[in-house]
Structure 1
Amino acid sequence: MKLQNLIFITFSFLIFCNPLFSQKLDPKGRDFFKPDHIVKSEITNKDYLIHMSFPKNYSIKDSITYPVLYVLDGKSTYGYFESSYIDFEKIEDVILVGISHKVNGVESKINRFNDYTPYRDTLTDRKFDKKFGVEKGTIKTGGAVKFLECIKKEIVPFIDEHYKTNSDRGISGHSLGGLFTAYCFLNSDNYFTRFGINSPSFQLNEKIFLEPAIVKFTSSETWNIEPTKVFISTGENESPMMVSNMVKFSLYLKKNKYENVDMNWRIYRNESHTSVIPFCLNGTLTTLYRKE
């Protein structure tokens, strides 16, 4: 009986310790310039590259867990994750997870327009079919519902299984990624509680996304969500429509003064749609994860 008890205790110990230690991956020795993982989605039928950055003291030998910020278009932004653009002295420890499409070139643009747009917009579809020189019907907007499901059911569970994360999740995006992040914010179910909405492409789906959002801000005095932080930004030299729509969205949200929404916004002087990317990423981190 003593031997059986010993075997049972040992087996139970291994089961309960395994999720804490043995399943977690050690980021040391990895090549920062290569994707850490590729997630094959059965929901969207697309492959996603995962680029990650970890707090300086991250170790699989302790029980500390960390919040996670999921950054869209990670393939083009992960180079900033550990660069001098980020003021790490001002932010709390956070794991950064860049998500991007495995394909490149026009195929990547096709996937972005599908995944990052909340609603189908046939005018946008035709416009960008011509702009990208692809066959009519190639660009198909309106896939945000499936992409968000992919993030929740495939990407986040994968990260949670292999790394020391907790349930404090944020999401950030730029341009079309900013539009998708705003969509996540407007449809908040407390899965994410920190949002970086940068250079959002509100000119897409304007009538069926931006205008209803403003109606919500003006007609709903309360919002039953967990305490949430939001950072919204754009570059001064971006298109006038992009800047004005971002300001309109921000002002109406700020004016409502939701008690559980801590919102800040900024226009970066002399920055264009491309040059603003590292600055808005730093602004997102220093606003959403500022040390107390």
Structure 2
Amino acid sequence: MTTLKVAASILLVLVTHCSWAQSSLSIGIKDSVRSVVLSEKRMLNIYLPEEYDQSDTTKYQVIYLLDGGMDEDFIHIAGLVQFNTLPWIKRIPPSIVVGIVNRDRKRDFTFPTTVAEDKARYPTAGGSGKFIAFLEKELVPYIQEKYRTSGAKMLVGQSLGGLLATEVLIENPYLFDKYVIISPSLWWDNGSLLKRQMVVAVSPPTTDIGVYIGVGKEGLAPGTVPHVMEVDANLLSEKVSKLQNKRIHPEFDYLPEEDHATVTHQAVFNAFRKLYPR
């Protein structure tokens, strides 16, 4: 055997040994639900609290995360949840995170628009009604049946996900008891969502609803009519505040050091502090 072949054999043994010595690091599990409403299978990324096991009888709140893919917001938001539930921090209660992996976020997170430019830029848009029905009638019941949940539910959404979360808050507010709405794309359909009457205005809540609205230094949003992201987010906060209902607790947060691309992580961290005051 030549020297070159001997060296190659040794290298192969070393590489094989190193690969055997490695072990995987898991931060969650993959799950899925077959949706009749959406006529498709939806993939889920699930983070479970460290103490969650078969012998544990504790029930946990659930944080439903829009844009919940591994290449989206699941990893860093699950990390924030893990950090804020450490025994020496205990900012929020131990929680399950359900990251909803996208198939077509422009379809799922937008309601029908009357604006021609919106339709041209997002030809599949307008499916939020079905997606909200999926959340209410399929996903939440599935999670509640399969996992040990307490009934406490939070919805987290940013950008178009923030638009969807705002629509749920306005039209179906009792689906969740906490909302984290970040940089919502309220420019959609020339800001028509801000003009809708909130369900809680005519049917006041009997339980507490926490609402966090965060936005960075973002400026003009796309659209035929100029919309400033910070202004629209503040208008939403004012809309909720004007209800003057003691059961609804709005928190507005301006993050001037963040922009549309960077705001989510810091906003969720801030939301945990504001929605779970000590």
Same fold flag (TM > 0.5):
yes
Aligned counterparts, 1:6-21, within 5 A: none
In structure 2, which of residues 196, 204, 221 is the aligned counterpart of residue 223 of structure 1? 204
Aligned to 2:149: 165
Q: SS at 1:243's partner residue?
A: helix
Work out the CA distance in 1 between the residues paired with 2:116 and 2:64.
30
Q: SS at 2:124's partner residue?
A: coil
Amino acid at match of 1:93: P
Aligned counterparts, 1:225-264, within 5 A: 225-239=206-220, 241-264=228-251
Work out the CA distance in 2 between the residues paired with 1:43 and 1:30.
35
Work out the CA distance in 1 between the residues paired with 2:145 and 2:171.
26
TM-score, structure 1 as length reference: 0.74
Work out the CA distance in 1 between the residues paired with 2:43 and 2:202.
40
Contact 1:173-1:196 at 8 Å conserved across structures? yes
Matched, 1:31 2:31: no
Aligned to 1:186: 170
> Unpaired segments of 5 or more residues in structure 2?
1-23, 221-226
Cα deviations across residues 90-146 of structure 1 (Å, max 9, x unaligned)? 222111111122x4xxxxxxx2121111333452443415xxxxxxxxx23221111
> Unpaired segments of 5 or more residues in structure 1?
1-28, 104-110, 130-138
Work out the CA distance in 2 between the residues paired with 1:193 and 1:92.
14
Aligned to 2:52: 58
Q: SS at 1:83's partner residue?
A: helix
Aligned counterparts, 1:144-163, within 5 A: 144-163=128-147
71-80 or 152-161, larger mean C-alpha shift: 152-161
Q: SS at 1:245's partner residue?
A: helix
Cα deviations across residues 70-97 of structure 1 (Å, max 9, x unaligned)? 0100010111134369544222211111
Q: SS at 1:237's partner residue?
A: coil
Work out the CA distance in 2 between the residues paired with 1:69 and 1:124.
34
Query: Are the structure 2 counterparts of residues 275 and 230 from structure 1 closer, same or farther at C-alpha, using a change threshold of 3 Å?
Result: same
Which consecutive segments of 4 or more residues in structure 1 shift more than 6 A?
A: none
Contact 1:189-1:225 at 8 Å conserved across structures? no
Query: Are the structure 2 counterparts of residues 248 and 291 from structure 1 closer, same or farther at C-alpha, using a change threshold of 3 Å?
Result: closer
Aligned to 1:126: 119
TM-score, structure 2 as length reference: 0.77
Aligned length: 242
**Structure ID, larger Rg:** 2
Work out the CA distance in 2 between the residues paired with 1:122 and 1:167.
38
Work out the CA distance in 2 between the residues paired with 1:229 and 1:78.
22
Aligned to 1:26: none
Q: SS at 2:164's partner residue?
A: helix
Contact 2:162-2:183 at 8 Å conserved across structures? yes
Q: SS at 1:145's partner residue?
A: helix
Contact 1:120-1:140 at 8 Å conserved across structures? no
Matched, 1:201 2:185: yes
Work out the CA distance in 1 between the residues paired with 2:155 and 2:193.
19
Query: Are the structure 2 counterparts of residues 246 and 84 from structure 1 closer, same or farther at C-alpha, using a change threshold of 3 Å?
Result: closer
Matched residues, percent identical?
Answer: 22
Aligned to 1:95: 96
Work out the CA distance in 2 between the residues paired with 1:258 and 1:205.
28
After TM superposition, give the deviation of residue 221 of structure 1 in Å: 8.4
